[in-house]
């Protein structure tokens, strides 16, 4: 049986989603429900859109779904920045590092996909 090559952005976005879930569970234990809810939605949506893009109908559809994932990356960055700058929130350094990696990879994917449309 031939093994499929690992899709790095899919793997990274799933790992990030799991980290976000764990972080948000910690926030909920501290009764920080509003931020936990917003961060959970945007942070897990990245992976959902990346995963959906893997089964897109066309190159243009793929780019569109990856751009939506990028919007979710930006929103997640906002919520993590609030957590980072607020008092009494758990550290977000690992999450921000993972998110930065996802941002860079997603940006390159979008750029190279746009170039292949030309």
CATH number assigned to the domain covering 8-117: 1.20.1440.60
pTM over 0.95: no
Cα–Cα distance, 74 to 107 (Å, whole number): 12
Q: Tens of pLDDT along 11-69?
A: 999 999 999 999 999 999 999 999 999 999 999 999 999 999 999 999 999 999 999 99
For the chain, what's the residue count?
A: 118
Cα–Cα distance, 50 to 22 (Å, whole number): 20
């Amino acid at each position: 049986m031939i093994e499929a090559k690992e899709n790095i952005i899919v793997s990274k976005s799933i790992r990030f989603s799991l980290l976000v879930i764990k972080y948000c569970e910690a926030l909920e234990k501290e009764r920080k429900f509003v931020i936990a809810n917003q961060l959970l939605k945007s942070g897990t949506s990245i992976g959902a859109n990346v995963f959906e893009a893997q089964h897109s109908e066309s190159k243009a559809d793929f780019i569109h779904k990856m751009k939506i994932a990028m919007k979710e990356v930006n929103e997640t960055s906002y919520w993590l920045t609030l957590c980072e700058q607020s008092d009494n929130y758990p550290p977000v350094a690992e999450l921000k590092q993972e998110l930065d990696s996802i941002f860079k990879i997603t940006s390159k994917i979008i750029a190279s996909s746009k170039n292949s449309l030309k």
